[in-house]
Amino acid sequence: MTKSVLVSDEKLAAGIQFILSDVDGVLTNGQIIYDNSGVETKAFHVRDGLGIKLWQRAGLAFGILTSRNSQIVRIRAAELGIQTVRQGIESKWPAAAEMIAALKLTPEQTCYIGDDLPDLPVLQRVGLPVAVADACQDVRENATWTTRAAGGHGAVREVIERLLRAQDRWEEVASVGKVS
C-alpha cells in the first residue's frame, strides 16, 4: 500500500544508518547466466560499487541479504568491504532482524532495497523501504521511494546519493577526485 503522506527526504534519511540490499534484481539486473560449464555469472554496476564505498566512507553500514547462494556475491562483497552478508536465506525478515540487531540498530534506522515478493516482509518493517524501478507491483506499492534506475543499472547508487544528500553528507564523502 502506497504511503499517502509526503515526508521530506531529509526527515526520512535523518536516522538511516544501515542499508540492506537484495542482490538479484537490485545489485544485478536479475538475470542469472550460466556458461557451458555451469558456472554462474552476474553483472554488477560499477556506480553501485562506488556508492557503497562512499556510504561506508561516511561511517555507515551496508549489508547484503539474498535468497540465493553465490560465490560471485562473496567475491563482490569482499571487494567492496561489505562484512554484513547473508546468503541462502529463505525467510528474509528474521535474518534482517538479526543483522540489524547485530549492528545495535533498529529497523527504523534501516533502509532496505528490494525488487520482488520475498523482499516484502523486510520492506514492511524498516524505516525506509525502497523499490528499484523495475520491481514488481507489490514491492513498488510497499516502498516509500522508488528509484528511477532499474536493478543492476545504478539503482543502489541512486539511493545512496539521495540519502547522503538528504543527510547533508554527500559533499564530504564525494569530494575525492574533485578539483578545487
- Numbered residues of the known binding site for substrate: 24
Q: Which residue has the cell 527504523?
A: 108
CB atoms within 10 A of CB 162: 18
Are 66 and 86 within 8 A, CB to CB?
yes
Are 103 and 18 within 8 A, CB to CB?
yes
Are 135 and 13 within 8 A, CB to CB?
no
Binding residues: 22, 24, 115
Q: Which residue has the cell 541462502?
A: 88
CB atoms within 10 A of CB 98: 12
Binding residues for Mg(2+): 22, 115
Comparing C-alpha atoms, which of 94, 89, 86, 32 is closest to residue 64?
A: 86
